[in-house]
Amino acid sequence: MSEKLHCKWNQSGCGVWTTTIGEKPQDNLLSIAGIKPRIKEINKMVDTGFPFGIEVEVKKVRENMVIDFPLDSDEKIYGLGLQFQNINQRNKVYHLKVDHYGENDNGRTHAPCPFYVSSKGYGVFINTTKYVSVYVGSANRKDCSKLAKAKDRNTDQTWTASPSADHIEVALKSEGVEIIIFGGPSILEVVRRYNLFCGGGCLPPKWGLGIWKRVPTLYTDKQVLDVVKEFESKDFPIDVIGLEPGWHSKSYPCTYEWDENRFPQPKVFCEKLKEKDVMINLWENPYVSPDASIYEKLYPLSGSHDVWCGIVPDYTLPEAIKILQNQHQQAHVNIGISGYKIDECDGYDDWLWPNHAEFPSGHTGEEMRQTYGLQLQKLTTEIFKEQDKRTYGLVRASNSGGVSFPYVIYNDCYNFSQYITALINSSFCGVLWVPEVRSAKTAAEWVRRCQLVCFSPMAMVNSWASEIELWTFKEVENIVRDVMKLRKRIIPYLYSAFSRYYFEGIPPFRALVMDSNLINMNSNQNISKLDDTENPYQIAASRDIKDQFIVGDCLMVAPMMPDQEEREVILPEGDWYDFYTGEVVGNGEVIKIKPGLECIPLYVKDGGIIPMVSEKSEKDSDFTLEVRCYGKAEGRYVLYDDDGKTFAYERGEYNHILLTTNKDKKGNIFGNVEIIRNKINSNFKEYEFRFMSL
């Protein structure tokens, strides 16, 4: 009944092996995204051997392609897309499908990336546009070599509903599939190879790292300008205004044309905001209204089924891409629009074409569902790229292959702790995730949400529906303003972190296991040695760490939950310092903190260097960088800079500035600045560096 298939691995880069089993499919995730693996950068990485022997088995079981990977009993598995509740995905089953997150980690998510990374230091990527099921040590084959033992549930307290299996089974309905294996040896190196293979991380424009604000859907041009004025008068920074559906003459489905009543002069409107240095982001969804000027042209290029009575263009077709790109360019980009929020491409269960829908390119509804978010990101990114402008936007669906697209995923989940888990998991699958601020029941919740979003890829205030403004809770207005300003001040640090995402594939926001030596402590084999009283740190580290994450080179964030007054923080080995005071807080231990509402807990590694825009220079032409130096170890930090808005960096026009520090016994800091690469174009304003010991 089943037929074994041969699996021949080809090395396609340093630590990267690929195989195609069965028929080569029409497309895969990378071909749809138009991505070429960045093999040159991968080949700069440390060499590593093929992680499995010949243990990968592939077979065809009737209509199913089944791939079997080995799994050790103490192995942890991370990734498999943007999951919201679990970090170690062992003993789970994921049916990977583009969909909204429905309160369960079951594979239906906004970015169901068919990629996982093992704590043993290797990764597996199933490069397919089909639905994929992954049984992560949860499909117990009766012939498996390390069969779990049956237990008597009547009397045995150790009985479990999920006995652990010694393999990962991947299944899909397909004639053929490409599999890619990434070596490590560390988790971070696996993820870096995966990110670079998928095109490398995106580098947002600098303005994209500022403060975002979305306005009510039916606002007019004048009302939008008033919002900006109000931010100014209240001394809150604002960098990007997002317009919701009402800017369209019709929406759901969309015309992509300005409503003549609400925005009679879009070009003038854009110019007015440009004067204030505020960028404009436009909401859209991909379903084209019969009233859109491009409807007739797109009709024959669209799928068999409508969504909300709008056609669904097949954006794997160059003709269709061109039509939307031209319209967007003329109506939006040429007058100064900076980017898009691409809504509803995740389907939200059944608000989409069916799986069996037909598309003119020959792709099925299933293949289109898995990749529509990629198609839309590619299409819109290209409009800007053609004008040598960077964009930064929001999207509700992505997949592997979207790593290099400058889009951040959002959704309708509003669970604070799941927000953080998603932020951590985003680092295992090459996507960015934003814990948007939408509303709050209390001032404390408002503060905690604002603090969290300021330590995420996009500082997005999307509270137009709740009508809560940043200053609504008077008693915390100053605290909220402080964290918004802090966000603006750390842009040099965040921007450098994103540059490493682009150049080296290092996620700017990421899980602790990627940086620390928690991995070894995480081994299941150690559990028996743990002692809750003598060594609580090991207990904590053996669990998933779902409430702390790393930003950039040396900063650890431990957000407070809205209703939390105190919490535990796990400090990996090495001295850790309080970001605000510079005081040492611990080393390889669990501390309990009670930080007060005014601060989000932030910790810096020994020797950590954090360059910040100085408080004074914020809007000045005299641009001073305050270089915060933490701890006793010698510091070394590479600051990245470029023009902040074009693709000149891809042509080599960027600077690398090496900041090094050491301290004498009295704590006096000796800082050194060395420009190790200086290729920046004339737009560049040189920094003045002011080293500060903390």
Q: For residues 33 and 199, is the Cβ–Cβ distance under 8 A?
A: yes
* Pick 104 or 681: Cβ nearer its own copies: 104
* Residue 589 to residue 541: CA distance in whole angstroms: 10
Q: Which stretch binds its own copies (CB under 8 A): 205-213, 289-297, 479-487, 593-601?
A: 289-297
Closer to its own copies by CB, 201 or 246: give it. 246
Return the closest-CA partner of residue 171 out of 140, 193, 205, 139: 139
Which residues, numbered 126-185, are part of the site for its own copies (CB under 8 A)? 133, 135, 138-143, 147-154, 159, 161-163, 169, 171, 173
Neighbours of 47 (CB within 10 A): 9
In the complex with its own copies, the residue whose CB is nearer, 415 or 517, is: 415
Terminal Cα-to-Cα distance of the chain (whole angstroms)? 68
Q: CA–CA distance from 663 to each of 119, 585, 625, 666, 672 (Å)?
A: 36, 19, 19, 8, 12
Q: Considering only the C-alpha atoms of the chain, give the largest distance between any 2 of them, rounded to a whole number of Å.
A: 76
Contact 379, 321 (CB under 8 A): yes
Q: Minimal distance in Å, beta carbon 302 to its own copies?
A: 7
217 touching its own copies, by CB under 8 A: yes
- Three-class SS of 442-494: CHHHHHHHHHHHHCCCCEEECCCCCCCCCCCCHHHHHHHHHHHHHHHHCHHHH
Q: Between β-strands 393-395 and 407-409, what pairing exists: parallel, antiparallel or unpaired?
A: parallel
Closest distance to its own copies from the beta carbon of 266 (Å): 16
Residue number with CB closer to its own copies (306 or 568): 306
> Is residue 266 a contact point for its own copies (CB under 8 A)?
no
Work out which of 3, 47, 63, 664 binds its own copies, going by CB under 8 A. Answer: 63
Kindly state the smallest distance separating residue 59's Cβ from its own copies, in Å. 9
Cβ distance 188 to 203 under 8 Å?
no
Closest distance of CB 105 from its own copies, Å: 11
| Cβ 154 to its own copies shortest distance, Å | 5
- Residue 283: CB minimum distance to its own copies, A: 11
Supply the minimum distance, in Å, between the C-beta of residue 315 and its own copies.
16
Nearest by Cα to 488 from 277, 656, 637: 277
As a whole number of angstroms, the distance between CA 64 and CA 170 comes to 10
DSSP notation for 203-226? ---GGGGSEEEE--TT--HHHHHH
# of chain residues touching its own copies (CB under 8 A): 69
- Residue 351 CB, shortest distance to its own copies, in Å, is 6
Give the distance, in angstroms, between the CA of residue 172 and the centroid of all CA atoms in the same chain: 26
Collect all residues with Cβ–Cβ distance below 8 Å to 539 and sequence separation of at least 6: 530, 531, 532
Q: Under a CB-based contact definition with an 8 Å cutoff, are residues 244 and 217 in contact?
A: yes
Instruction: Give the x-and-dash track for 331-360 against its own copies (CB under 8 A).
Output: ------------------xxx-xxxxxx--
Contacting residues for 655 by C-beta, under 8 A, at least 6 apart: 639, 640, 641, 642, 675, 677, 678, 679, 680, 684
Encoded one letter per residue, x for contact with its own copies by CB under 8 A and - for no contact, window 430-469 reads: ----------------------------------------
Q: Of 75 and 259, which has the nearer Cβ to its own copies?
A: 259
Q: What is the DSSP letter of 300?
A: G
Residue 290 or residue 586: which is nearer to its own copies going by CB? 290
Q: Examine residue 526 and tell whether it contacts its own copies (CB under 8 A).
A: no
295-314 residues in contact with its own copies (CB under 8 A) are 299, 302-311
Segment 96-125, which members bind its own copies (CB under 8 A)? 106
To the nearest whole angstrom, how small is the minimum distance from the Cβ of residue 288 to its own copies? 9
Residue 398: closest CA among 408, 390, 413 = 408
List the one residue from 39, 46, 218, 465 that touches its own copies (CB under 8 A). Answer: 218
Q: What is the footprint of its own copies within residues 1-60 (CB under 8 A)? A: 1-2
Span near its own copies by CB under 8 A; candidates 206-214, 243-251, 505-513, 661-669: 243-251
We find the least distance from the C-beta atom of residue 99 to its own copies, in angstroms, to be: 11
Which helix (H) or strand (E) segment holds residue 382: the answer is helix 365-386
CB nearer to its own copies: pick between 43 and 64: 64
The pair of structure tokens assigned to 587 is 């080393």
DSSP conformation class of 560 = P
Closest CA to 136 of 189, 98, 96, 103: 96
Q: Please state the closest distance from residue 249 (CB atom) to its own copies, in A.
A: 8
Contact 18, 50 (CB under 8 A): no
Residue type, 306: D
Binding range to its own copies, per CB under 8 A, among 33-41, 241-249, 452-460, 634-642 = 241-249
User: 245 to 264, contacts with its own copies by CB under 8 A?
Assistant: 245-246, 248-253, 259
Hey, how many other C-beta atoms are within 10 angstroms of the C-beta on 528?
A: 6
Out of 70, 176, 290, 336, point to the residue binding its own copies (CB under 8 A).
290
Interface residues with its own copies (CB under 8 A) are 1-2, 61-64, 66, 92-93, 106, 133, 135, 138-143, 147-154, 159, 161-163, 169, 171, 173, 217-218, 245-246, 248-253, 259, 289-291, 299, 302-311, 349-351, 353-358, 362, 364
